[in-house]
Structure 1
Amino acid sequence: MKTIVSRLLYSQSSLPRLYAMAASRHGRLLTTDSNKVDEPFKVEEAETVDVPPSPTEKLLVLGGNGYVGSHVCKEALDRGLLVSSLSRSGRSAIQDSWANSVVWHQGSLLSPDSWKDALNGVTAVISCVGGFGSNSHMYKINGTANINAIRAAAGQDVKRFVYVSAADFGLVNYLLRGYYEGKKAAETELLIRFPYRGVILRPGFIHGTRQVGNIKIPLGVIGSPLEMVLQYAKPLSQVPLIGPLFTPPVSVNSVAKVAVRAATDPVFPPGIIDVYGIQRYSQHK
């Protein structure tokens, strides 16, 4: 039987014979194009490639002139995206050439009328909005402002929404109660409004080169060695009370890379990505 099947599959005259057998059995006339030469059936193995995002995709970065936001803008431009940014101060003070390719909007997420036009034509949003201060102020900036953005984006049928939140640091959460309560409230809203298209990134300490005015602060001098050491200490992060303090730092470039990928890759898994997930996804091509 195996020999017969093999001959039927690879013989150049096998297809006409099959057609003739079918015609004689069912009494129907089956025709083939006599000008074509039968060839053995070929199967080629599929190959996956890294396809860049479509240049028609427009990304809005909330807080794009900040530390993380500016790196997100640059990463998105490097990926060939149309990039706009919304912040209270408008255009970034960064003098690098890439900043000229960003469309800068000035407005406050706490005043919807001041930024409603910024969502026009936007296909994805990445929010890097956050801040410190009194508990009430931190809740307003980290929570209410982002909740307003999430609701507005959902109302405009934005495809994907990525929120840069923060890792859980246990006891520290109590000291910065307004900060973490605001973050959690925004996360909850995102999971409700974007259950299949929302991504929450929870980095810990984010290291890299941070520019404050004309001064560049090399946070990587401390953060990079700590990341190398603590990424292998994951079991320690499960220790009650003090465990979260062993959460490894992550580079700002890794956060930016994963944020842009999550905003543009239609198969990127929705939900919460912790610091270990950020490290893992940032290494994927």
Structure 2
Amino acid sequence: MATATTKRLVVCGGNGFLGSRICKSAVARGWDVTSISRSGEPTWSSVTASASPPSWARKVTWERANIFAPATYAPLLKGTDYVVHSMGILLEADYKGILSGKESPISGLARAFSSSKGDSRNPLTRNNGQDLKLEEEAGQFTYELMNRDSAITLAREAEKEKTSAFAYISAAAAPPIVPRRYMDTKMEAESSIARQFPSMRSIFIRPAHMYDSSRAFTMPIAAASGVGAMFNNASGGILGGVFGDVMGTAVIKPLKADIVAEAVVEALSDEKRKGPIEIQQIEELAEKGWRKGML
């Protein structure tokens, strides 16, 4: 294991919008950080305001591995203190197929919103070394595979290595019009991880919409969600209560991605922290973490 003064963190999806910020926050604490993803180091223009890597990125080990093939990343989990699952999808439509003309927009959206999907193999009955498998037509990623099964499998591998804490990036609600299965699979992942791996402290971060000025399209969504959240609070929560399934994140306070990232790192470092972490707790943890950084 890492020494008492240097914690070792592995972030699955560490080259993404939130994952890269989790890596940054952990590096700022002097942790030994490894990112696992298919492509390795991020395309920086997609996660920051610059195409050039920031100075902190040199302190992260950017590894390539396949989340669906545990054998490709299991060796990287050895000696870890903390593991984070920071991956997921909002919609299942095969956009590349639609854009290339291999699939019509109507059939693509029909598959995205269908109530029945081909699942991957149950990750808890998977044999050692056995990969998760895409069962859906054309190898389409599903909520079951990305949001649930990959997380359960990663947690299983982390527990084998006696990782002390596992953080799963869940959600407070789904964005408007996103199929219900998005939240169903998030909740199923939380429940299964907490129940199946009791020896590991499990943390479930539940943000709503995350934004940052470096990703321009997130800003107007955040502004609209902020207005919706204020109106919902002023009306005593009537929008969220009556139309919660429809409005989703449109009436929940959005959070800057850096705040969520700092909260993840602070929650991991707090040995008493476990279970769901809601919006207010995310903000409190982030503030606590930043105060530590100023001391």
Q: TM-score if structure 1 supplies the norm length?
A: 0.70
Pair 1:117 & 2:75 matched: yes
Distance 1:189 1:181, change over 3 A: same
Distance 2:175 2:222 in 1: 20
Mapping of residues 8-157 of structure 1, within 5 Å: 54-94=4-44, 95-131=53-89, 132-134=91-93, 136=117, 137-157=142-162
Distance 2:200 2:275 in 1: 8
How far 1:232 moved relative to its partner? 8.0
Counterpart of 1:25? none
Pair 1:190 & 2:193 matched: yes
Preserved CA contact (<8 Å) 1:223 1:249: yes
How large is the Cα RMSD of the aligned pairs?
A: 2.6
1:180-236: CA deviations, max 9, x gaps?
A: 2321221112211147711101111001134xxxxx526346526854883684431
Among candidates 171, 174, 189, match of residue 166 of structure 1 = 171
Distance 1:232 1:253, change over 3 A: farther
Give unpaired runs (5+ residues) of structure 2: 45-52, 94-111, 118-141
Give unpaired runs (5+ residues) of structure 1: 1-52, 211-215
| Alignment coverage as a number of residue pairs | 225
Q: TM-score if structure 2 supplies the norm length?
A: 0.68
How far 1:270 moved relative to its partner? 1.0
Among candidates 276, 279, 283, match of residue 280 of structure 2 = 276
How far 1:99 moved relative to its partner? 1.4
Distance 1:81 1:274 in 2: 25
Distance 1:98 1:233, change over 3 A: same
How far 1:54 moved relative to its partner? 4.8
Distance 1:281 1:233, change over 3 A: farther
Distance 1:238 1:224, change over 3 A: closer
Counterpart of 2:253? 248
- Tell me the amino acid that sits aligned with residue 240 of structure 1: V
Kindly indicate whether structure 1 or structure 2 has the higher relative contact order, using CA contacts under 8 Å at least 6 residues apart.
Answer: 2
3-state secondary structure, aligned to 2:162: coil
Q: Percent identity?
A: 25
Distance 1:224 1:60, change over 3 A: farther
- Tell me the amino acid that sits aligned with residue 83 of structure 1: V
Counterpart of 2:205? 201
How far 1:118 moved relative to its partner? 1.1
Counterpart of 1:4? none
Larger Rg, first or second structure (1 or 2): 1
